[in-house]
């Protein structure tokens, strides 16, 4: 099976972000054969406004299941009502869905009102429970990577408390890949011995410390590149559960 992995849309009701999301979704819609799912790892809205989620719900319409988790720019209550059609609640948004024999566990790594991430005890308990419910391959997704990735901008606000996540994952060898966003750069690493794939930003790309411009302060636009095209990952999940990830940019 093949799934698309998008992250960091930062929809703000402006044309720029909307055009980028629309271009990515149109590209997915034009593929030679249907993909099996679309995973969006957070920062779907830029300010967490209801109007932003209304646009997101329109733009993210796709024939295959669209699986989402919130990022630090998202707001739980508006995310639930505007994007998921669920009653408003400030509880963590943890969702599991099986697609084509693969379990996708979408975890809420946000701390309301903060940029950094943390999986609440109730989210980890939920994850342990859903992973205990079967034996087929599983993919676990969240917004904040639980390790440093060499991008200072986000390494300072990564997911902490990661030893608790590692303990849960250690009980479930069915987990074949971890998916995250937050970094605004396509990156591949490991956590707890499991492949961790980080999707590039749809809205912008982070500059690595070795790239010119990475020293820019926030009053100068920050260490982000808004000129590069929107990008995404396509993950091929092989029959043995191994995951191969392909990086694509989309004209916009």
Nearest residue to Fe ion by CB is 43
Is 145 in contact with 179 (CB distance < 8 Å)? no
Is 162 in contact with 176 (CB distance < 8 Å)? no
Starting at the earlier edge strand, list the strands of the sheet with 243-249.
66-69, 37-41, 2-6, 231-237, 243-249
Considering only 8-16, 109-117, 121-129, 213-221, which stretch makes contact with Fe ion by CB under 5 A?
8-16
- Nearer CB in complex with Fe ion: 103/199: 199
Strand pairing report for 138-141 and 102-106: parallel
**C-alpha span between 94 and 153 (Å, rounded):** 26
- Nearer CB in complex with Fe ion: 73/80: 73
Q: Residue count at the site for Fe ion (CB under 5 A)?
A: 2
Spatial neighbors of 116 by CB under 8 A, at least 6 apart, are 72, 144, 156, 157, 158, 159, 160
Could you tell me the two tokens for 78? 């508006």
Considering only 3-11, 19-27, 84-92, 158-166, which stretch makes contact with Fe ion by CB under 5 A?
3-11
Give least dist CB 201 to Fe ion, A: 6
Among 3, 5, 8, 21, binds Fe ion (CB under 5 A): 8
Give least dist CB 110 to Fe ion, A: 11
Give least dist CB 80 to Fe ion, A: 19
Give least dist CB 17 to Fe ion, A: 11
Considering only 7-15, 59-67, 125-133, 145-153, which stretch makes contact with Fe ion by CB under 5 A?
7-15
| C-alpha dist (Å) from residue 246 to 4, 35, 107, 146 | 10, 14, 23, 22
Give least dist CB 55 to Fe ion, A: 17
Considering only residues 33 through 52, tell me which ones interact with Fe ion, judged by CB under 5 A. 43
Considering only 6-14, 81-89, 112-120, 144-152, which stretch makes contact with Fe ion by CB under 5 A?
6-14
**C-alpha span between 48 and 26 (Å, rounded):** 24
- Nearer CB in complex with Fe ion: 73/176: 73
Using CB under 5 A, list all residues that contact Fe ion.
8, 43
């Amino acid at each position: 099976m093949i799934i698309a992995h998008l992250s960091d849309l930062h929809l703000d009701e402006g044309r720029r972000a909307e055009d980028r999301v629309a271009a990515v979704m149109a590209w997915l819609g034009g593929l030679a054969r249907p993909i099996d799912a679309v995973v969006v790892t957070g920062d779907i809205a830029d300010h967490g406004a209801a109007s932003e989620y209304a646009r997101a719900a329109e733009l993210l319409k796709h024939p295959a299941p669209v699986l989402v988790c919130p990022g630090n720019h998202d707001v739980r209550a508006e995310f639930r009502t505007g994007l998921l059609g669920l009653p408003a609640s400030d509880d963590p948004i943890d969702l599991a869905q099986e697609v084509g024999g693969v379990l996708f566990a979408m975890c809420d790594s946000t701390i309301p009102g903060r940029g950094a991430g943390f999986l609440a005890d109730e989210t980890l308990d939920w994850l342990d429970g859903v992973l205990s419910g079967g034996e087929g391959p599983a993919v676990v997704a969240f917004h904040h990577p639980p390790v440093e990735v060499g991008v200072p901008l986000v390494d300072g606000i990564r997911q902490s408390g990661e030893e608790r996540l590692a303990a849960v994952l250690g009980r479930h060898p069915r987990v074949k890949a971890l998916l995250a966003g937050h970094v605004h750069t396509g990156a591949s690493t490991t956590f707890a011995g499991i492949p961790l794939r980080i999707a590039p930003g749809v809205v912008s790309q982070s500059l690595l410390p070795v790239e010119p411009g990475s020293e820019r302060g926030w009053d100068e636009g920050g260490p982000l590149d808004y000129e590069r095209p929107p990008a995404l990952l396509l993950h091929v999940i092989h029959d043995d559960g191994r995951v191969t990830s392909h990086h694509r940019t989309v004209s916009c």
